Structure 1
Amino acid sequence: MSLHGMDCATPKAMERRMPIKDKLQKPELETIMLIDDDPVSLLVMAESLQEVGFAVIESNDGHKGLTLFAEQHPALILVDLQMPGMDGYTFCKSVRSTPLGRDIPIVVVTGVDDVESIERAYDCGATDFIIKPIRWSIFRHRIQYILRSSNAMQSVQRSSNLLAEAQRVAKLGNWTWDLNEQKLFVSEESYRIFGVPRVDPGVFHRLLMSSVHKDDKKGFDIAVQKASDGEATDFAFLACLPNGEAKNILMHLDGSAEHLEPGHRIFGTIQDITERRKAEESVRQLAYYDSITGLPNRDLFKEHLSMALHQAERSKEKIAVMFLDLDNFKRVNDSLGHEAGDALLKAVSERLHESLRSSDLAARDVADMNSSLARLGGDEFTVMLSGLHGIEHVEMIAQRILDRIAEPMMLSGNRVCVSSSIGIAIYPEDGEDLDTLLRNADAAMYEVKSQGRNGVFFYDNALRQQSHDRLELESELHTAIEQDQLTLFYQPKVDAETCQLLGFEALIRWIHPERGMVSPIDFIPVAEESGLILPMGAWVIKTACRQYQAWRKVTDTEFSVSVNLSAHQFADEHLMTTIRDILIETEMPAQYLEFEITETVLMQDADAAMKILDQMKVMGLRVSIDDFGTGYSSISYLKYFPADVLKIDREFVKDLPDDEQDATITNAIILLGKALNMGIVAEGVETESQLQWMRDKGCDQIQGYLFSPPVPPERAEEMLIDPFSLRHD
């Protein structure tokens, strides 16, 4: 390039003639690369650009310019088209072929003003061109504008790339729908979602419409109509794609934008939610289905029953709810292991399915019914039969279930037979709400258990009255706790040889203002079912400890107090914290507090029980195994339980010394306890001959009516103060 044809006014002269208001605002420092084989042209352009704050790098050769570009990364390139060696066309092509050169603005400077040369420059990658002679008054403005435009375009491109990447990650595409032309203009991600290359908008419209699953077409059309009326809406549907793949699609449709003519165009997004639906289904499976049998769990069964109740209320139909419990599950689980127990549960669920299969049921009105199965937990299952017009076939179905479950099966190489007990409640006769029906079916099932198991029992008037009485008792028990109607009685334990008082067992009593003394046999089960047993149990422990401290003020006699722990208390994760807090509050010496726990409770989870007993021993508490010999026990576990005392149940004592079997069993318990260095307490001793028999066999302590029944605290205090008041005749 030469100065020939250039405006004769130099940049400095031009700037001197410009009014102050026309002087250029200096931009932030940006680098511009100049490539020209004419050193004078390089000098003049460099001076012009540097005076307004640009950094300038120069090259007089296209090849060197490429090297310099790769090293310096300028913001804009000015290059002369006509140069020896590598001309401006070739330079443009070379720059555009590199990753860094795809977006950089390249301005070609040329004295050639024919259209063909300019088009060739654009084809080679030029962004703009400047024709000589250069008008210096607008040169720098032109460069600034090109840079500004380039930066804006790059910013838009970055945003577009980020949006495209975000849409790809979110599997979210956007679209505009021309309702008149039936064309869909979609983003790149929309093509990817549908697994097709770029196609004509009309073709994509037909593709979308044909992919909507037939079950979703009506809902899809309604959503489109809502959007065309200006109402934004979301619609999820199953898309059957051309490649045979099925995807869950969530479509947002909107026609409310101001620039859209109502009824002609709508816009929105389209998202592939297939993975989300799979994840949701996995979560639902975990939340609503039993992991062992695959059956619905308690929560889902309640949902099914609730919906069936609403339907039955409208249609005036009946519902049968069956509560099923396996009779021998614990024995199988304990003897063959948990894997065999799980296999048994799976087999039972399959047999339940088979028993309810409509094709196997002869009666038409039964075949038309709906059924739902669930495993509530443990060995408890529920069956719901809805859509019933009568109940004459319900017992037939229940008996079919009993018979099918009772058939032998192979578990872990063993031939196993189990039976089941089924209680049935009918809507609306036995309850009009979910909880009442389940509770009454459960009560009917327990009636089967009480009658020997392996049978069916319908909830009836007798059970209805029992249920009513139990609800009434529960209400009154709440009142009893609030109004301090509960109290503790104390039954003494004495030394078998000397008859010296050694301690008391604290026993809860309810003195009802109208009913009088209510038996613990009646209200303890109610307390357990209602959840009152935990606060009641804590009250018993605290009251016994306070009574001990009160008695210590009136006697120097050394004695202990024992308290019974129920299964619910023993399973309470806060039990040890509760005991520790009570000991601290009442200042009770731990070594004088004993907890009586039945062997049945201990064996429900022997390993967990051992940990709790260990904690009790660390705290200094005493532990007694109550009712020994009446429940399920394991001698192998018993030797590891850190217990201090074995209590012989009164069932083995009442017929002594005449009953040889009881004598043999009781003697064996005493010998076992002695071998394990445990003290022995005999309950229910009522005669001199029983006392003498216990002495002869080495029993340590006696508890029973021979010495005293359970008595109020005042009478127990008299026994502490006056030991002679305890002596029997």
Structure 2
Amino acid sequence: MGDKTPLHAGHFVSQNILLIQNDLVDATAVRDALVNSMGGPFEVEWVRSCADGKERLKDDAKNMNRIAAVLVDLVLPDSSGIEMFDELFLQAPQIPILVLCDSQNEEIGKLAVQNGAQDYLLKSRLDTYLLPKAVGNMIERAANVEALFEEKERAEVTLNSIGDAVMSSDVWGNVTYLNAVAEVLTGWPCEEARSHPLEEVFRIVDADTRETVPNPMKLAIAQNKTVALTPNCILIRRDGVELSIEDSAAPIHDRRGTVTGAVMVFHDVTTARALSLRMAYLAQHDSLTDLPNRILLADRLKQAIAMALRGDRQLALLFLDMDRFKHINDSLGHAIGDRLLQSVAHRLRASVRSSDTISRQGGDEFVILLSDIAHPEDAETSAEKILGALSTPHAIDQHNLHVTGSIGIATYPDDGVDADTLLRHADLAMYRAKENGRNNVQFYKAEMNAHAVERHSVEDGLRKALEHNEFELCYQPKINLVTGAMIGVEALIRWRHPKRGLVHPAQFIPIAEECGLIVEIGRWVLREACRQARAWQDAGLPATRLAINISPVELRAKDFVAGVRAILADTGLDPRCLEFEVTETFLMEPSGATAEVLQALKEMGLQIALDDFGTGYSSLSFLRRFPIDTVKIDRSFVRDMTTDADDASIVRAVIGMGESLHLQVVAEGVETREQLAFLRRHSCPAGQGLHLGRPVVAAEFAEILGRSVARVANA
């Protein structure tokens, strides 16, 4: 990594981040946290000095402002402190800046926020969870501010082009704005009228009694409500001309609900007033689902906490994340994805009380605020009701979309007494729900913080494992149960961690799938296994079909088929010697791309096996629709088939189905003599398990292949 070095995050459209940081270690840590985050993708460009940073921002201004955010260390070789920040801010005030500082410089970080920075972060607290969240939120805030600014500009143009007069004041009753029509009607230019008392600029009297009428804007501020002008009033213009008017005044609030002034529309108030209300509404609601956004949720959550504190009550926060929504969005298109989110929002509204708040946080994340509950169990009941509502297929165009959700629950006051803590803890609980298989509900527990740290440790370790070649493959034979001959081999990944020792795949594969590393790991497995299989053949050992487990995440990758073709070409392995094992979950995904991928692999000459058959929801129609060659009976049925009549029936049924459909059937997890005897008795063609052959490293498996050659020669 060097000066002005672009660091890419995959092949998706990225948010461009400019990192101004002199220290290589800190720059690398920031880069890794952003580039490898699930919240991205981000593309990081790194420069080392303030001068280079200003030059890059100057170039960016000439190229249509492609930088989404700036991360800057307060200490640089050529400049430091608040003066350095001010120089950068002046160069590009429209770009959000996140200041990175040490604890001893925290006060300067706070000062930078006062001077225009979006936020600051202590370098000691940077991690793959906090930093991407902070950067993503910063970019979103900046986009919201820009949208509001543009909305304000459009509003001002609109207000000056409509035929109604519009006037506003501050909370003390001083004029702050007049549009062009109001200038004509009052006789006051806006600049001259600004800061003058309302009574001086807007003189109104009763047409009959000539008595002064209370100013409706002051009434609106005092009463905190919309006030209409008393009928039969006239406006005395600055030059003494009297005009008959009708108006309506309304208070203006900040995002905390505090009255900051008032706005009044003369004559026909419909258009201008609707525009003003629409501006306030858009600032607090999600444009796609019409649900409250994170800004309005934060306000309501703070109010709910205050009320719960006063009334000694409880409240709950439910953090909902849609399971595998990204795949639906990618495979069926954003238009379908947007309509699915609207359908989800509709069902959420129907699942909770009108007094509760449903918020869309962005993407496929929703937060539900249950503002008054008697017991934590009430929150669980609501969460289960939500999952039940979501489980019914969503009919969109010609698609019946099956979606589920993972929900984390945090309650006040047990799990936090402030809004940020409750949100963070509900988020952690949601991730635990995903790790527990998705489509379930989890309450926050204190140990989840430690679990999150452990998860980060594993994720970081996986990246290092790829760099340091810590993965290895073992090979387990598949046996013909009639002849006892070996008919294939499955490659199984193992992680030999330098400190933890041998790590089982169940401990790291789910995390690799969540963070996206499974694609790179899977590519390594495929290349290494194909290389090894070809090496055995080159050594004169018999060719045997090589089976590899493929994650649904890998299969969804746009370049997966091309990558397989390239690896086979590089290693020289005949595609007919390769078999991919896929899960039922992948077959059930609502996209024609599933069949296309499998068909492309079949056309290359590969075999397709359906792994863990019987644990999902696939049917015979799935087996007929997709080019499946083999079904593997899940080990959970094989384990208990000699003692459980139901499992025995399932195993017999799968064997019979395979024979009828001309599919190879392989029983997984054969670990006892009794299990083997049962399978042979019921004519199961093939098996795999510790009783038939344990997984061994490549060198040992080569010896097994060699012995099989010797047996054939001596037969």
Q: TM tier, shorter chain?
A: 0.5 to 0.7
Contact 2:291-2:358 within 8 A present in 1 as well: no
How do residues 164-563 of structure 1 correspond to structure 2 at under 5 angstroms? 171=161, 182-183=187-188, 213-215=249-251, 240-247=265-272, 288-289=286-287, 291=289, 294-296=290-292, 300-301=293-294, 304-305=297-298, 321-324=317-320, 346-354=346-354, 356-357=355-356, 371-374=357-360, 381-384=366-369, 395=376, 398=379, 401=382, 423-424=409-410, 428=416, 436-443=424-431, 445=433, 458-563=443-548
Contact 2:611-2:633 within 8 A present in 1 as well: yes
Matched residue, 2:200: none
Matched residue, 1:613: 598
Does the residue aligned with 1:494 lie in a helix, a strand or coil?
Answer: strand
Q: Distance in 1 between matches of 2:444 and 2:342?
A: 30
TM-aligned CA distance change 1:212 to 1:349, over 3 Å = closer
Does the residue aligned with 2:496 lie in a helix, a strand or coil?
Answer: strand
Shift of 1:618: 2.1
Q: Distance in 1 between matches of 2:268 and 2:300?
A: 39
> What one-letter code is carried by the residue in structure 2 that aligns with 1:240?
V
TM-aligned CA distance change 1:649 to 1:396, over 3 Å = closer
Q: Distance in 2 between matches of 1:243 and 1:305?
A: 35
Shift of 1:699: 2.6
For these two proteins, the number of residue pairs brought into alignment is 464
> What one-letter code is carried by the residue in structure 2 that aligns with 1:215?
P
Q: Distance in 1 between matches of 2:568 and 2:322?
A: 42
Work out which of the residue numbers 610, 613, 627 in structure 2 matches 1:625.
Answer: 610
TM-aligned CA distance change 1:703 to 1:404, over 3 Å = closer
Matched residue, 1:599: 584
Shift of 1:642: 0.8
Contact 1:431-1:437 within 8 A present in 2 as well: no
TM-aligned CA distance change 1:688 to 1:614, over 3 Å = same
TM-aligned CA distance change 1:432 to 1:506, over 3 Å = farther
Shift of 1:396: 6.3
Q: Distance in 1 between matches of 2:584 and 2:447?
A: 33
> What one-letter code is carried by the residue in structure 2 that aligns with 1:322?
L
Q: Distance in 2 between matches of 1:599 and 1:374?
A: 31
TM-aligned CA distance change 1:445 to 1:178, over 3 Å = closer
Shift of 1:685: 1.6
Shift of 1:302: 8.0
Contact 2:317-2:422 within 8 A present in 1 as well: no
Q: Distance in 1 between matches of 2:636 and 2:185?
A: 91
Does the residue aligned with 1:557 lie in a helix, a strand or coil?
Answer: coil
TM-aligned CA distance change 1:502 to 1:311, over 3 Å = same
The CA deviation string for residues 456-478 of structure 1, in whole angstroms up to 9 with x for no partner, is 75322343433333232222222
Contact 1:441-1:459 within 8 A present in 2 as well: yes
TM-aligned CA distance change 1:395 to 1:449, over 3 Å = farther
Q: Distance in 2 between matches of 1:397 and 1:654?
A: 39
Contact 2:321-2:407 within 8 A present in 1 as well: yes
Bigger Cα Rg: 1
Contact 2:236-2:242 within 8 A present in 1 as well: no
Matched residue, 1:361: none
Q: Distance in 1 between matches of 2:574 and 2:670?
A: 29
Shift of 1:628: 0.6
Does the residue aligned with 1:487 lie in a helix, a strand or coil?
Answer: strand
Q: Distance in 1 between matches of 2:244 and 2:488?
A: 85
Q: Distance in 1 between matches of 2:444 and 2:512?
A: 22
Shift of 1:581: 2.9
The CA deviation string for residues 693-714 of structure 1, in whole angstroms up to 9 with x for no partner, is 3334333322111221111111
Matched residue, 2:50: none
Contact 1:323-1:445 within 8 A present in 2 as well: no
> What one-letter code is carried by the residue in structure 2 that aligns with 1:525?
P
Work out which of the residue numbers 554, 563, 567 in structure 2 matches 1:578.
Answer: 563
Q: Distance in 2 between matches of 1:407 and 1:596?
A: 32
Q: Distance in 2 between matches of 1:681 and 1:647?
A: 5
TM-aligned CA distance change 1:341 to 1:681, over 3 Å = farther
Unaligned runs of 5+ in 1: 1-166, 186-198, 219-235, 250-272, 330-337, 358-370, 413-417
The CA deviation string for residues 275-317 of structure 1, in whole angstroms up to 9 with x for no partner, is xx979989997xx3554xx435xxx44884599689999x999
Contact 1:563-1:595 within 8 A present in 2 as well: yes
Contact 2:578-2:606 within 8 A present in 1 as well: yes
> What one-letter code is carried by the residue in structure 1 that aligns with 2:666?
V
Q: Distance in 1 between matches of 2:569 and 2:374?
A: 61
TM-aligned CA distance change 1:303 to 1:659, over 3 Å = same
Contact 1:351-1:405 within 8 A present in 2 as well: yes
> What one-letter code is carried by the residue in structure 2 that aligns with 1:247?
A
Matched residue, 2:658: 673
The CA deviation string for residues 393-412 of structure 1, in whole angstroms up to 9 with x for no partner, is 57265156358769999989
Shift of 1:596: 0.4
Shift of 1:668: 0.9
Across the aligned residues of Structure 1 and Structure 2, the Cα RMSD in angstroms comes to 5.4
TM-aligned CA distance change 1:248 to 1:583, over 3 Å = farther
> What one-letter code is carried by the residue in structure 1 that aligns with 2:467?
E
Q: Distance in 2 between matches of 1:301 and 1:713?
A: 54
Q: Distance in 2 between matches of 1:350 and 1:281?
A: 22
Unaligned runs of 5+ in 2: 1-156, 164-178, 191-234, 255-260, 326-336, 394-403
Work out which of the residue numbers 687, 696, 707 in structure 1 matches 2:692.
Answer: 707
Shift of 1:208: 13
Please identify, of 171-180 and 480-489, the stretch whose mean Cα deviation from structure 2 is larger.
Answer: 171-180
Contact 1:321-1:441 within 8 A present in 2 as well: no
Work out which of the residue numbers 700, 706, 713 in structure 2 matches 1:721.
Answer: 706
> What one-letter code is carried by the residue in structure 2 that aligns with 1:480?
A
Matched residue, 1:685: 670
Shift of 1:500: 2.2
Matched residue, 2:124: none
Shift of 1:499: 2.2
TM-aligned CA distance change 1:305 to 1:617, over 3 Å = farther
Shift of 1:180: 14
> What one-letter code is carried by the residue in structure 2 that aligns with 1:437?
H
Does the residue aligned with 1:654 lie in a helix, a strand or coil?
Answer: helix
Q: Distance in 2 between matches of 1:650 and 1:688?
A: 15
TM-aligned CA distance change 1:311 to 1:206, over 3 Å = farther
TM-score by length of 2: 0.53
Shift of 1:352: 1.6
Contact 1:423-1:448 within 8 A present in 2 as well: no
TM-aligned CA distance change 1:382 to 1:496, over 3 Å = same
Q: Distance in 2 between matches of 1:527 and 1:205?
A: 77
